[in-house]
Amino acid sequence: MPRVYMLDYVAGNVRSLVNAIEKVGYTVEWIKSPEDIEKADSLILPGVGHFGHCMSQFSSAGYLPAIRKHIESGKPFMAICVGLQVLFEGSSEDSSVPGLGIIKGTLDQFDNTSKSVPHIGWNSANTAGKRVYGLRPSSKYYYVHSYKVPYRAGELESQGWSVATARYGDEEFVGAVARGNILATQFHPEKSGVAGLRVLKAFFRWYKRERGPRSTGSKRRRVIACLDVRTNDQGDLVVTKGDQYDVREKADGGDVRNLGKPVEMARKYYEQGADEITFLNITSFRDCPLADLPMLEILRRTSETVFVPLTIGGGIRDTTDTDGTKVSALEIATMYFKSGADKVSIGSDAVTAAEEYYRQGKQLFGNTAIEQISGAYGNQAVVVSLDPKRVYISKPTETKHNTVQTKYPGPNGEQSCWYACTVKGGRETRDMDVVELATAVQAMGCGEILLNCIDKDGTNSGFDLELIDQVKNAVSIPVIASSGAGNPGHFEEVFSKTRTDAALGAGMFHRGEYTVKDVKDFLGEKGLMVRQFES
């Protein structure tokens, strides 16, 4: 297989990119020093994370002159996400560090007053009719970023760049640029299903032939399939599903419900058109060395066939390995990212961190798992999973917590409730409500909230719209509605009645009652925009 060369630095999920490149027929050779760049006849700059962190890493490892030289020599060069951003002159994400300055212009942050930031999801890369590396106006590509290059018509074009644009809310930004030997995408081709693989294929086809490209030329609802994974009584890692978090069969000796194998099920949902796959490791297995965690192998195998974003949750906290070594949450997250995850999801540890945040008068010290992981990999890589439970009260003044006037009265006719946060899979309830938790984790650098609901989990009775409204109104980061989906109509309901950014289903897919495609077809029929799966 022909080879392409990729820069090896701490840049989030590079494994998925390697898998995608292999999928389109090439092998990846790692660049480990500036001297390697000189010898390489192509260069791929992957990137997830922080502009300043990324530039400082290149600079301290002595890569900057070699990257510039490579680009100027006319050899093929491809950059992805932060890789695109560093080609510009600078970014307000870190104004103390200049970019490479290959392209004129600077980045700024999306405005979050009327939309969720980061911008996470499927969007266009519109080339206004020009042919640019397989980009199609009808295709959707996966974006995850807080900073963007604002698009000003004609500006980049006048410097010879072909530009593909996208719109988020009322902001138009640069989705991809190409000129001569350079292709840079703000979206992740390796996470954009067949449309993304087509871009990689087109770039590498051009690269292989060593000739120029033939021409240099609103928001979609995300449907997520979630797999709760745990070890069953026989010691096998299985997909399970609870009713209000109880995953044991009511009969048959109360065994852990076994609904199938994680890797195979993830692939099935990807092929049905899932926009993302989430694995929640619902019991933390700590009886083997961390490096041998079975979940790492599951991620590695899943990322070979699943080309949409993967999130992994469960057990992400500072811990002690079986040999007594202390291992930080950041190190655990790094293992997951290296194995193919794009995001990590933190549950119990986020509640503990939020309690400390309030105890310290809302001060941040940079030492929580959320701050450390988002500092290294960007806030889009950190999801916090909330496991709230309804607490009914007869009137709002009875509690200090943020309450909801509910349409669904409690057992004694109570018309108000608040949502209490829980830890350890709902086994312990804390004196903190969801609004307090969501706003605290947002301040720490969490980029997205996975909003479960213990009362609704496994009930097939629809999402808790009151809970989703309360949290969505409290934060500016994206919210994923979870728990209670029983049919495609529930997805339509949550998307049309709340401002949720994504919705997740589990049991209805696992039991084979509906496919992800059924849900997306139904949403499409109802006039809601969804990404269609391209085969």
Which residue numbers are catalytic? 81, 188, 190, 228, 387
Segment near ligand 1PR (CB under 6 A), from 10-18, 117-125, 303-311, 482-490?
A: 482-490
Decide: is 262 part of the binding site for ligand 1PR (CB under 6 A). no
Using CB under 6 A, which of 54, 226, 259, 296 touches ligand 1PR? 226
In the structure encoding, which two tokens stand for residue 458, read together?
Answer: 């496994």
Decide: is 493 part of the binding site for ligand 1PR (CB under 6 A). no
Contact status, residue 304 vs residue 253, Cβ threshold 8 Å: no
Using CB under 6 A, which of 12, 315, 340, 447 touches ligand 1PR? 315
Q: Which residues pair with 204 in a beta bridge?
A: none
Decide: is 304 part of the binding site for ligand 1PR (CB under 6 A). no
In the complex with ligand 1PR, which residue's Cβ is closer, 316 or 474? Answer: 316
Contact status, residue 122 vs residue 191, Cβ threshold 8 Å: no
Decide: is 345 part of the binding site for ligand 1PR (CB under 6 A). yes
Using CB under 6 A, which of 46, 118, 193, 314 touches ligand 1PR? 314
Decide: is 19 part of the binding site for ligand 1PR (CB under 6 A). no
* Pairing, β 147-148 against β 319-320: unpaired
Segment near ligand 1PR (CB under 6 A), from 189-197, 198-206, 267-275, 277-285?
A: 277-285
Alpha-helical segments (H) within 124-215: 193-209
Decide: is 388 part of the binding site for ligand 1PR (CB under 6 A). no
Using CB under 6 A, which of 71, 84, 247, 332 touches ligand 1PR? 247
Decide: is 344 part of the binding site for ligand 1PR (CB under 6 A). no
For 328-397, give the secondary structure using H, E and C: CHHHHHHHHHHHCCCEEEECHHHHHHHHHHHHCCCCCCCCCHHHHHHHHHCHHHEEEEECCEEEEECCHH
Q: How many residues bind ligand 1PR (CB under 6 A)?
A: 31
Quote the CA–CA distance of 131 and 78 in Å, as a whole number. 17
What amino acid is encoded at 461 in this protein? S
Give the residue carrying structure tokens 């807080």.
146
In the complex with ligand 1PR, which residue's Cβ is closer, 112 or 232? Answer: 232
Decide: is 280 part of the binding site for ligand 1PR (CB under 6 A). yes
What one-character-per-residue DSSP string does 76-98 give? Answer: -EEEETHHHHTTSSEETT-TTS-
Quote the CA–CA distance of 272 and 180 in Å, as a whole number. 37
Report the nearest approach of ligand 1PR to the CB of residue 475 (Å).
18
Binding flags for ligand 1PR, 439-458, as an x/- string (CB under 6 A) = -------------x----xx
Handedness of CA 371, 373, 374, 379 (dihedral sign): negative
In the complex with ligand 1PR, which residue's Cβ is closer, 14 or 316? Answer: 316
The helix or strand, by DSSP H or E, that contains position 231, with its residue range, turns out to be: strand 222-231
Residues in contact with ligand 1PR by the rule CB under 6 A:
226, 228, 241-242, 245, 247, 280, 282, 284, 313-316, 345-349, 385, 387, 425, 452, 457-458, 482-485, 505-507
